[in-house]
Amino acid sequence: MPQELPIFQVDAFTSRAFAGNPAAVCPLDDWLPEATMQAIAAENNLSETAFFVRRERDYELRWFTPLAEVDLCGHATLASAYVIATQLAPDTARMVFRTRSGPLTVTRDGTRFTLDLPAQPADEVPPEPAVAEALGAAPRQARDERAPVVPARR
Active site residue 48: yes
Give the span between the Cα atoms of 39 and 7, in whole angstroms. 14
pLDDT tens across 44-57, in order?
999 999 999 999 99
Rounded CA-CA distance 66/37 in Å is 10
Q: Which residue in 4, 34, 43, 48 is the catalytic one?
A: 48
Q: Is the pLDDT of residue 107 over 50?
A: yes
Burial 108-141 (b: 16+ CB within 10 A, else e): beeeebebeeeeeeeeeeeeeeeeeeeeeeeeee
What is the tens place of the pLDDT at every residue in 133-147? Answer: 898 998 888 888 764
Is 48:23 a contact under the CB 8 Å cutoff? yes
Per domain, the residue ranges of the chain are: 8-116
pLDDT tens, residue by residue, 70-92: 999 999 999 999 999 999 999 89
DSSP code for 122: P
In words, the CATH class of domain 8-116 is alpha beta
Position 140 scores a pLDDT of: 87
